[in-house]
Amino acid sequence: MMTDDQWEESPHVGILMNRLRVEEKLLIRELESRGISYERLHDGELQFDIGNGSDWRRFDVVLERSISHSRAINALGILESMGIPTVNTHPVAAVCGDKVRTSLALEEAEVSQPRCAVAFTPESALESAERIGYPVVFKPSTGSWGRLMARADNRETARAILEHKSTLGGVHHSIFYIQKYIEKGGKDIRAFVVGDETVCAIERRSDHWITNTARGGEVTEYGVTPELHEISLAAANAVGGGVLAVDLFLVDGEYLVNEVNYTMEFRNSMDPTGVDIPGRIIDYTLDVAAEAVNNPTTAAIGECA
């Protein structure tokens, strides 16, 4: 990590957000404790003058924390075009924010994942579900917090789900992403990857088949083994690397990567693991800024999700 005395002056950090959650407060507190200059950038107030990025060059790095994928991915793309380094980058957000692209990236990198399929009509989606074999999970291609997911244990349920999706319409229901349901014993694992290190991991338990902490899942520490680190880092590198949360299942002694998240929540993971996650994120963010200073031609590096 680059120390403060290696900067001619304090680096200036932008934090892109649209809601001041506990995570953003913790990141801001970390910056303030180090005396790092920063600005909050509310994505609903941003205005980019395409072709004129001079005002944005006051930032040494921008840390993306927006819960809006569409706003985040566009802002990151514009900032990157202006030569502003970001955490995470536009390419990483583009992959992690799309389950189809994430699955393709994991497949290309030969990272183990549950069997999945993509279809564009209810009829073809039903055929895909039957080819994979029930039970299956229908997921929106974009989305988080376990929303808009539905489990089908048989053909009748799958047909009803697909009928509802078709009736509702909209972008979340126009692409059918079908994943084999994994019997995980009411638990899964989330590993936090920062750079080339798996800094900690948690186990999430729930009586519901969706174990997200946003849906009430209980959290305990999960030890980072060499095997967990290997697959977590491989998944992170597959989507571009940086600051990521990798969700995994453990089935018969083998890890399967379920999803990779590029703007993850971590409030419920600090106490169980004892790891200063916001501190590690800020360390990495400052390293990205320092890398841009040392190698200005690669300003938009520093990837994550």
110 inside domain = no
CATH number of domain containing 149? 3.30.1490.20
- Tell me: do 130 and 176 sit in the same domain: yes
- Domain-embedded: residue 101: no
Determine, yes or no, domain membership for 236.
yes
Give 288's pLDDT tier (boundaries 50, 70, 90). Answer: very high
Label residues 50-60 b or e (16+ Cβ within 10 Å = b): eeeeeebeebb
Regarding whether 129 and 57 lie in a shared domain, the answer is no
Q: How confident is the model at residue 52 (pLDDT cuts 50, 70, 90)?
A: confident
What does the pLDDT look like over 113-124, one tens digit per residue? 999 999 999 999
State the average pLDDT for the chain: 90
Total number of domains constituting the chain: 3
Q: Does 230 reside within a domain? A: yes
- 83 domain-assigned: yes
- 268 shares a domain with 212: yes
CATH code, 225 = 3.30.470.20
Q: What pLDDT does 77 receive?
A: 96
- Full domain range(s) for residue 17: 4-95+277-298
pTM for the complete prediction? 0.89
Give the domain CATH number at 68.
3.40.50.20
